[in-house]
Amino acid sequence: MHVSSVQQRGSVRFPAFIGERIYMREFTKAAGLPADIARWQPTVDAMLDGVETDGRIFLMVDQAVVRQQATHRRPGLHVDGHWNPALYAYGHGGSSIGNTESETLILASDKLGCAAYVGAYEGEPGSGGDCSHIDASSLLRVEMEPGRVWAGDTLRMLHEAVPVERDCLRTVVRLNVLGWRPQ
């Protein structure tokens, strides 16, 4: 049995929409972001408020035009898994990808488009973190409100993209924080 949980941690603002995409850029909290993506530093600082770590952090930013009733990111119930920079890919089995330390997923967006689930569940993620076979009907569904910071375990937090209500420009920011867990 596993437990999916999500924690609301604070609020966040985003830079102007320019259709930017950043994929898994490594940095540390102490050093901050590289100069070419420094416009995201205030957003990242807000997302890392209260996070005490000197470990590696990976930043993903996805700004996109999303059409009414479409999803911006990955649909279907899933977990993200641990980020493995050596393979430039996610894994879902801890030591099988060379990462045995804890890893937290921190998410924020400017428009509603994701929901997480809270509670105990049975089963293991399938290929690519797919959890469509897991019964989430008894779990509490939490809409991940825009402008808020959300955190959960990369291997256990069940979540899914949900369709947007109307055409929009949407920004999603994800941090994979190695070696830290929310209290």
* The two structure tokens encoding residue 13: 């603002």
Q: How many Å apart are CA 20 and CA 77, to the nearest integer?
A: 26
Q: pLDDT tens for residues 58-80?
A: 999 999 999 999 999 988 999 99
Strands 82-84 and 168-178: unpaired
Q: For 138, phi and psi rounded to 5 degrees?
A: -95, 0
* pTM tops 0.85: yes
Task: Kindly tell me if the per-residue pLDDT of 116 is higher than 50.
Answer: yes
What's the confidence (pLDDT) of residue 93? 52
Q: How many Å apart are CA 172 and CA 64, to the nearest integer?
A: 9
Per cent of the chain over pLDDT 90 is 80
Using CA atoms, how far residue 102 sits from 51, 79, 105, 166, in Å, is 14, 14, 10, 37
Per cent of the chain over pLDDT 70 is 93
Q: Beta-carbon neighbour count of residue 89 at 10 Å?
A: 13
- pLDDT band at 100; cut points 50, 70, 90: low
- pLDDT band at 99; cut points 50, 70, 90: low
Q: How many Å apart are CA 9 and CA 37, to the nearest integer?
A: 23
Using alpha carbons, select from 113, 97, 107, 94 the residue that is nearest to residue 169: 113
CATH of domain 2-178: 2.60.120
What's the confidence (pLDDT) of residue 88? 64
The string of DSSP letters for 54-111 reads: -SEEEEEEEEEEE-TT--SS-BSSB---EEETTTTEEESSGGGGT--S-EEEEEEESS
What's the confidence (pLDDT) of residue 61? 98
